[in-house]
Chains A and B, each alone.
Chain A
Amino acid sequence: MYPDELVRTAGEELPSPRVPKKKKVSVQERKEHLIAFLFILPPIVGFLIFTALSVVFTFVYSFQGYNSLSGISENVGFANYIDLFTHVTRAPLFGKAIVNTIVLLLSVPFSMILGLILAGLLRLGEIKGSKFFQVLYYVPAVSSAVALNIVWNYIFRSNGVFNTLLGLDVIWLDGDVTIKVAIIFKNSLNAMGGAMILYLAGMLNVPKDLYEASSLDGAGKVRQFFSITLPLISPVTFYLLITGVIGGLQSYADAQVFAAGNTGATTIVYFIWQQGIQGNNNQGLASAASVLLAVLIMIVTLIQFKFSNKWVYEE
């Protein structure tokens, strides 16, 4: 869905650019314009206050530093941005937070692969209880992240049920690498249901005659999957990838609740929270990190808008 498309589907005729609109606007029409605008005013005011103004202030803060001697904020130029990457005492963990956030994004492709396999199994086996499995697999997606993180933390304890059932002796929660593995594991599992449902819907949309035609040409199941199904459901893949990455870049509860601040799993948003809210005295630094995160997410979103029709199959 694209914004211009959204507008164009209005069913109204677009005014032809060549015909100049010299028609006189009636009083009644002007009244409708006004009322129509009043109806959209609350969301616009909300946007201006809670988004536009907030973004501007975040941007301004990112160039400010708090001077503890004078007790006022002062302009520090790009110092906060530079400190994020270079300052050992002010921002020791920002680089780590970026690496952690990106590594933890691995759960996105994993959940997509699991979802694709599950959807394929449901289709291939013509499973009767398909709806049952869909409802069940989607349960974690509607559950509270805090509740899930509390129980997954319990599961991954050294003497916990995960190690016991698999006969392992891994210290999941304290290691720098193992905690990432644990988070990727649980997040892949929690997100695979959504991926499965979307892939299944995508597969049902593939025209049947394509399969029939290719069977006549002697293509096997595997060949059909890779040369028909997979390319035709690429919009779903793209959608899952983008929404997964955008969500993953804003991950917070995993670092806060599941990892309880373990530096092996601190994320960018956790870093922002720590510097700006928890410590409450590094708001300039936190704002600089927020601006970088916002830019990153905007780039991903714009990629979605710009390239979605080039990369993926559409009718």
Chain B
Amino acid sequence: MMSVIHDTTLSPVKKVGRIFLRVLIYALLVLGAALIVFPFVWMVLGSFKTPLDANSAEFRFLPVEWVTNNYTDLFTNTNFPIIKAFFNTVIVEVSVIVVGTFVSALAAFSFAKLKLQHKTFWLLFLMSGMMVPYAALMLPQFRAFQSMNMFDTLWPLILPGFFGNVSMIFFLVQYMRGIPNAILEAARIDGAGHFTSFVCVMFPLVKTAIAAQVIFWFIGIWNDYFAPSIYLITPDRMTLQALLGSLNPAQNRQYLPMALAGAVLSSIPMFVIYLSCQKFFIESLAISGVKG
């Protein structure tokens, strides 16, 4: 159906028509791409403007004067300590992902390969949590963390992650089922216990699947805004997104170029990860939709 363009049996007139069609399609795709790219270009341009320039009533596309102090301010201004925010974000990322991934993979191993009683029940039990919105859990958790003196610390963002990630568990259960039982049997005959066969046999076999899930989780945590904005109020304790939110130029226009500079800086690590793993992002996404 789709090979219209390369159909050699077409008459020259029709061929010209096909070429025209193809040019038109490219033009539309480039237009769409421009719409996608533009906000990022605008972000970068704005980050080099002075507050006066960025907020000026007279519209200018390029900065009147290219200034870098929006960036340098972020590194020196104690109200918006982006370096600290970066490290806070990394602390949340590393602790949640290291512990949470291990816990999730171990649970998935049990669901996929061990003789677990009431397997269906437990799986449905965990799955039912996926349909509860965070907003319906937020208030009791907020009160509890407050009463444990964990308000304005990173703990409310870290602790829930220690118990694993349900969507990661489900993904890994499906993946681990594809691993032949014979491999695990062999380990068992050699005297390996269940934990050893998980660590030494299963884990190395599903590394890539786990890596895939880790990247998605990493980006989710990196971009998470709601919980950090609720719990963190001291700039020194904020994650990157909470800090960016506190700079919101819709509330204070003077912050605009600095907020844009912060947006640029906080996006760079994401872009690096996304572009280096792009193939795998697109493929994982495509699979999720087709399987539904």
- Residues of A whose CB lies within 8 Å of any CB of B are 1, 3-4, 6-7, 9-11, 29, 32-33, 35-37, 39-40, 42-47, 49-55, 57-58, 61, 114, 118, 121-127, 131, 133-140, 142-148, 150-155, 159-161, 164, 173, 189, 192-194, 197-198, 200-202, 205, 208, 211-212, 215, 221, 224, 235-236, 238-240, 249-250, 252-253, 256-260, 268-269, 272-273, 276-277, 283, 286-287, 290-291, 293-294, 297-298, 301-302, 308, 312
Question: What residues of A have a CB within 8 angstroms of the CB of B46 in the complex?
Answer: 151, 154
Leading 9 A-B pairs by shortest Cβ distance: A46-B163, A198-B289, A201-B286, A57-B140, A147-B263, A125-B25, A260-B250, A39-B110, A211-B1
Q: Are B225 and A146 in touch, CB under 8 angstroms?
A: yes
Can you list 10 residue pairs at the A/B interface with Cβ under 8 Å?
A: A6-B173, A43-B103, A47-B126, A47-B163, A146-B244, A147-B262, A250-B133, A276-B139, A276-B142, A290-B138
Q: Are B244 and A269 in touch, CB under 8 angstroms?
A: no
- Residues of B whose CB lies within 8 Å of any CB of A are 1-6, 21-22, 25-26, 28-29, 32-33, 35-37, 39-40, 42-43, 46, 54, 56-59, 61, 103-104, 106-107, 109-112, 114-117, 119-120, 122-127, 129-143, 160, 162-164, 166, 169-170, 173-174, 177, 193-195, 198, 219, 222-223, 225-226, 229-230, 240-241, 244-245, 247-251, 256, 259-260, 262-263, 266-267, 270-271, 274-275, 278-279, 281-282, 285-292
Q: Are A260 and B248 in touch, CB under 8 angstroms?
A: yes
Q: Are B291 and A205 in touch, CB under 8 angstroms?
A: no
A33 to B281, CA, bound (A): 37
Q: Are B160 and A46 in touch, CB under 8 angstroms?
A: yes
Question: What residues of B have a CB within 8 angstroms of the CB of A43 in the complex?
Answer: 103-104, 107, 126, 163-164, 166, 169
Q: Distance in Å from the Cβ of A192 to the closest Cβ of chain B?
A: 8
A189 to B38, CA, bound (A): 11
Interface contacts beyond A50-B137, A136-B37, A198-B286: sample of 4 additional A-B pairs, CB < 8 Å, sorted by A: A43-B163, A151-B42, A159-B59, A312-B292
Q: Distance in Å from the Cβ of A251 to the closest Cβ of chain B?
A: 10
Q: Are A142 and B230 in touch, CB under 8 angstroms?
A: no
Question: What residues of B have a CB within 8 angstroms of the CB of A139 in the complex?
Answer: 36-37, 40, 271, 274
> A147-B244, A164-B59, A286-B139 in contact; A6/B123 too (CB < 8 A)?
yes
Q: Are A124 and B25 in touch, CB under 8 angstroms?
A: yes
A250 to B61, CA, bound (A): 35
A123 to B140, CA, bound (A): 49
A161 to B260, CA, bound (A): 15
Q: Distance in Å from the Cβ of B147 to the closest Cβ of chain A?
A: 12
Question: What residues of A have a CB within 8 angstroms of the CB of B139 in the complex?
Answer: 57-58, 61, 272, 276-277, 283, 286-287, 290
B165: nearest residue on chain A (CB-CB)?
A43
Q: Are A32 and B249 in touch, CB under 8 angstroms?
A: no
Q: Distance in Å from the Cβ of B182 to the closest Cβ of chain A?
A: 12
Q: Distance in Å from the Cβ of B77 to the closest Cβ of chain A?
A: 17
Question: What residues of B have a CB within 8 angstroms of the CB of A249 in the complex?
Answer: 133
Q: Are A54 and B141 in touch, CB under 8 angstroms?
A: yes
Q: Distance in Å from the Cβ of A244 to the closest Cβ of chain B?
A: 12
Q: Distance in Å from the Cβ of B258 to the closest Cβ of chain A?
A: 10
Q: Are A147 and B267 in touch, CB under 8 angstroms?
A: yes
Question: What residues of A have a CB within 8 angstroms of the CB of B177 in the complex?
Answer: 9-11
Q: Are B57 and A42 in touch, CB under 8 angstroms?
A: no
A40 interface neighbour in B1, B28, B110, B285, Cβ under 8 Å: B110
Q: Are B22 and A125 in touch, CB under 8 angstroms?
A: yes
Q: Are A36 and B290 in touch, CB under 8 angstroms?
A: no
Q: Distance in Å from the Cβ of A289 to the closest Cβ of chain B?
A: 8
A152 to B42, CA, bound (A): 9
Most buried by A among B112, B173, B226: B226
Question: What residues of A have a CB within 8 angstroms of the CB of B287 in the complex?
Answer: 201
Q: Distance in Å from the Cβ of B126 to the closest Cβ of chain A?
A: 6
A46 interface neighbour in B162, B170, B226, Cβ under 8 Å: B162
> A39-B114, A144-B223 in contact; A135/B282 too (CB < 8 A)?
yes
Q: Are A152 and B290 in touch, CB under 8 angstroms?
A: no
A79 to B44, CA, bound (A): 50
Q: Distance in Å from the Cβ of B107 to the closest Cβ of chain A?
A: 4
Q: Are A55 and B29 in touch, CB under 8 angstroms?
A: no
A4 to B122, CA, bound (A): 12
Q: Distance in Å from the Cβ of A18 to the closest Cβ of chain B?
A: 19
Q: Distance in Å from the Cβ of A228 to the closest Cβ of chain B?
A: 9
A189 to B127, CA, bound (A): 31
Most buried by B among A54, A145, A252: A54
Most buried by B among A11, A43, A57: A43
Q: Are A124 and B241 in touch, CB under 8 angstroms?
A: no
Q: Are B21 and A202 in touch, CB under 8 angstroms?
A: no
Q: Are B114 and A32 in touch, CB under 8 angstroms?
A: yes
Q: Are B21 and A125 in touch, CB under 8 angstroms?
A: yes
B259 interface neighbour in A150, A224, A272, A286, Cβ under 8 Å: A150
Question: What residues of B have a CB within 8 angstroms of the CB of A124 in the complex?
Answer: 2, 4, 21, 25
A250 to B164, CA, bound (A): 22
Q: Distance in Å from the Cβ of B253 to the closest Cβ of chain A?
A: 9
> A58-B137, A148-B39 in contact; A137/B290 too (CB < 8 A)?
no
Question: What residues of A have a CB within 8 angstroms of the CB of B33 in the complex?
Answer: 133, 136-137
